[in-house]
């Protein structure tokens, strides 16, 4: 059994039952490889193509926030939970102000930024933002029915 | 040979070599060459091979060239390269030069001051073909350009020809033509699209490449009326880059539009930010895709 804290298999998605997961540290140069890993693991975790795309978008935006505003580095974990794939991104940045409200309002068409979390909230069944004092952990659940 | 030029800079007397690996880029440059020829009242002759004769007009139409109407009025002709070259069994450089000279005279008699010719040379790799005749043609055809009534782009697929042949072919031309590439790395390629004019992005695009995207859009903003952003070959875009495209559209005056062509995840990203509500932005599904 591959547990949620294990590292990704070096040469592709870890073989194993539905609990298999990806646990990957990242920096600014790892985004392309990370998206590819999320797509491969999401497929392996039973997500159909449209949900794989949603997970790639969600992971991409959370990782982008961590790199740009959260100290430049972080850690991504992907795992199967009941009825969903869980995507957790943690960083050691200063935290997201007003975490309950971040991304809840439709950004003005004139807004230069601020669309990332809004998009994540539209695609995720739930989103939790936790400022821990040592950084931020954002957890999104993307609904993926059991096979 | 001098540095490659943009297709807009080619004119009568230029015998240009286009070496390419991306079929979309080749068709974009061919479309721009054909379109400007039609606009300038030139006769245009397309020898095609990897794109079938019956499909090329549609490919040109999809790139804002009024090809069918031009064919009907006799200003544009599309022929198969292989059929012409191998019409008598064996390819002959001299026969092709004579044929082209005949076309040049015909165009003049029809009242066209200039003949534009573009030819896909990939037929020359077929077993029956003879590369030596192709290369002889490229050398001998130079004489037809002397009086400034002929302009040509010869297309060489870099994946089909060996390096020695490509180097010889390139040296037989007076010009090289290439796309303007703003940024290229193994993950994303951002280049100018000539027809319809704008920007083409292929691969995956995120905030780490925001700067070349902004630069490419700024150039199109300066050069073009409407801006066509071709994302048909883009597999991923993040919210930061979607925002840059939206900002560009919002900065346009009322009579200008920014058109995005995309599909799949990229199209969904534009839907997720309600891009459809922005008057100066049009998002359309890529040709031939869901």
Side-chain-side CA neighbours of residue A119 (13 Å): 32
Phi-psi region of B104 (alpha: psi -120 to 50; beta: other; left: phi over 0): alpha
**Per-residue confidence band for B234, with pLDDT thresholds at 50, 70 and 90:** very high
pLDDT tens digit string along B266-288? 999 999 998 888 999 999 998 65
The pLDDT, as a whole number, for residue B2 is: 63
- Compare all CA atoms of chain B with the CA of A123 and give the residue at the minimum distance: B272
- Per-domain boundaries in chain B: 7-176, 181-285
Contacts A111 to B, Cβ<8 Å: 243
CATH of span B7-176: 3.40.50.300
At A111 the pLDDT is 65
Q: Distance, in angstroms, between A115 CA and closest chain B CA?
A: 6
pLDDT, greater one: A132 or B151: B151
Nearest to B243 among A53, A60, A113 (CB): A113
| pLDDT, tens only, B114-143 | 999 999 988 777 766 677 888 888 888 988
Indicate yes or no: CB of B273 within 8 angstroms of CB of A112. no
To the nearest whole number, what is the mean pLDDT of chain B?
A: 91
- A140 has pLDDT over 70: yes
**Residue A97: which residues within 8 A CB-CB, separation 6 or more?**
none
- The residues in A 29-58 lying below 8 A from B, measured between CB atoms, are 31-32, 35, 53, 56-57
Chain B CB contacts of A119 under 8 Å are 239, 269, 272-273
Instruction: Answer whether B271 touches A (CB < 8 Å).
Output: no
Cβ separation B273–A56 shorter than 8 A: no
Chain B closest-CA separation from residue A1 CA (Å):
32
Say what the pLDDT of residue B109 is. Answer: 96
pLDDT at B282: 96
Q: What is the pLDDT of residue A110?
A: 65
**pLDDT above 70 as % of chain B:** 97
Q: Is A144 in contact with A84 (CB distance < 8 Å)?
A: yes
What's phi and psi for B118, nearest 5 deg?
-135, 140
CATH architecture label of B181-285: 2-Layer Sandwich (3.30)
CA distance B129 to B89: 9
Q: Are residues B28 and B200 in contact, defined by beta-carbon separation less than 8 angstroms?
A: yes
Listed in sequence order, the DSSP H helices in B116-231 are 131-140, 163-171, 210-223
Mean pLDDT for B215-237 is 96
- pLDDT one-digit tens code per residue, B159-212: 888 888 888 888 889 899 988 899 999 999 999 999 999 999 999 999 999 999
Q: What confidence score (pLDDT) does residue A11 get?
A: 40
Chain-chain contact of A112 with B187 (C-beta, under 8 angstroms): no
pLDDT of residue A9: 41
Tell me the chain A residues in contact with residue B213 when contact means C-beta distances shorter than 8 Å.
Answer: none
Q: In the 8-state DSSP scheme, what is residue B113?
A: S
- Range with the poorest average pLDDT among A3-12, A87-96, B104-113: A3-12
B243 touching chain A per CB within 8 A: yes
Does residue A23 contact residue A8 with C-beta atoms inside 8 Å? yes
Q: Is residue B94 very low, low, confident or very high in pLDDT (cuts 50, 70, 90)? A: confident
Token pair for residue B183?
Answer: 């940024």
């Amino acid at each position: 059994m591959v547990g949620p804290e294990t590292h990704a298999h070096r040469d592709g998605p870890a073989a194993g039952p539905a609990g298999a997961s990806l646990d990957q540290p990242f920096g600014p140069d790892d985004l392309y490889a990370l998206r590819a890993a999320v797509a491969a693991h999401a497929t392996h975790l039973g997500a159909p193509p449209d949900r794989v795309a949603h997970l790639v978008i969600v992971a991409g935006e959370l990782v982008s926030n961590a790199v740009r505003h959260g100290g430049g580095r972080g850690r991504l974990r992907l795992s199967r939970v009941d009825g969903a794939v869980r995507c957790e991104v943690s960083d050691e940045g200063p935290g997201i102000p007003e975490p309950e409200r971040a991304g809840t309002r439709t950004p003005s068409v004139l807004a230069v930024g601020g669309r990332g979390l809004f998009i994540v909230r539209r695609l995720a069944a739930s989103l939790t933002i936790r400022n821990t004092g040592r950084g931020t952990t954002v957890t999104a659940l993307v609904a993926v029915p059991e096979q | 040979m001098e540095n490659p030029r943009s297709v807009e800079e080619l004119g009568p007397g230029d015998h240009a070599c286009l070496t390419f690996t991306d079929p979309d880029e080749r068709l974009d440059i061919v479309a721009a060459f054909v379109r400007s020829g039609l606009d300038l009242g030139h006769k245009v002759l397309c020898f095609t091979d990897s794109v079938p004769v019956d499909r090329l007009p549609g490919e040109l139409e999809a790139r804002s060239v009024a090809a069918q109407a031009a064919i009907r009025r006799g200003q544009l002709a599309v022929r198969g390269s292989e059929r012409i070259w191998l019409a008598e069994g064996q390819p002959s450089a001299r026969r092709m030069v004579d044929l082209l000279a005949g076309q040049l005279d015909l165009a003049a008699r029809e009242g066209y001051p200039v003949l534009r010719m573009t030819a896909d040379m990939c037929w020359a790799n077929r077993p029956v073909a003879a590369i030596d005749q192709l290369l002889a043609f490229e050398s001998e055809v130079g004489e037809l350009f002397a009086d400034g009534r002929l302009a040509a782009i010869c297309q060489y697929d870099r994946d089909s020809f060996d390096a020695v042949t490509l180097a010889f072919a390139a040296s037989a031309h007076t010009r090289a033509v290439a796309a303007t590439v703003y940024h290229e790395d193994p993950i994303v390629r951002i280049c100018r699209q000539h027809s319809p004019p704008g920007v083409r992005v292929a691969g995956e695009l995120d905030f780490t490449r925001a700067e070349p995207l902004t630069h490419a859009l700024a150039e199109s903003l300066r050069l073009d009326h409407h801006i066509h952003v071709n994302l048909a070959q883009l597999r991923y875009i993040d919210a930061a880059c979607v925002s840059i495209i939206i900002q560009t559209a919002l900065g346009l005056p009322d009579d200008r539009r920014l058109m995005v062509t995309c599909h799949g995840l990229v199209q969904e990203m534009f839907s997720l930010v309600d891009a459809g509500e922005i008057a100066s932005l049009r998002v359309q599904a890529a040709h031939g895709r869901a």
